[in-house]
């Protein structure tokens, strides 16, 4: 199995479709896993639950995380990821419909790497996703995985 480039965590079918459309335009095409709930994202990253049999050393190179998710919120997912030495270095970009200062403050205090506004204009949001994927998947270097 190919290493995972991108973990997309979102429960909105239109937002997932847009992100996957942008990903499919990329060459080479990144390997993507879609999680519809925060619990599924955590299970994937930590190789637990329904992902218990997967290779836990395969960590995503980038996580696109919706701020609002059913069950475990995007903020709680972020806090758990950044609170664990095994996942702390994985870049997390939050996707949100909010520009509220309180939301920005909460996510940045929890360690988010970037906060991307879900622009309602398709072209603007698509362009922002392209730039985001370019930076994090093409140019950004990650340290080796921590063991713990």
- Tens-place pLDDT, residues 54-85: 988 889 999 999 999 999 999 999 999 999 99
Q: How confident is the model at residue 27 (pLDDT cuts 50, 70, 90)?
A: confident
State the Rg of the chain over Cα.
Answer: 14
**CATH number of the domain enclosing 57:** 3.40.50.2300
Q: Please state the domain count of the chain.
A: 1
Residue 53 within any structural domain of the chain: yes
Q: Which domain holds residue 54?
A: 6-139
Residue 1 within any structural domain of the chain: no
């Amino acid at each position: 199995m190919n290493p995972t480039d991108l973990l997309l965590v979102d429960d909105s079918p239109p937002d997932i479709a847009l992100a996957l459309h942008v990903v499919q335009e990329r060459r080479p095409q990144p390997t993507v896993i879609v999680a519809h709930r925060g619990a599924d994202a955590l299970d994937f990253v930590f190789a637990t639950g329904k992902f218990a049999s997967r290779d836990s050393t395969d960590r995503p190179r980038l996580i696109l995380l919706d701020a609002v998710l059913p069950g475990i919120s995007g903020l709680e997912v972020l806090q758990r990821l950044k609170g664990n030495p095994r996942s702390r270095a994985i870049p997390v970009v939050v996707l949100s419909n909010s520009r509220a200062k309180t939301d920005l403050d909460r996510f940045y205090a929890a360690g988010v790497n970037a906060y991307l506004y879900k622009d309602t204009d398709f072209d603007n949001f698509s362009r922002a996703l392209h730039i985001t994927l370019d930076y994090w998947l093409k140019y950004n270097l990650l340290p080796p995985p921590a063991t713990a």
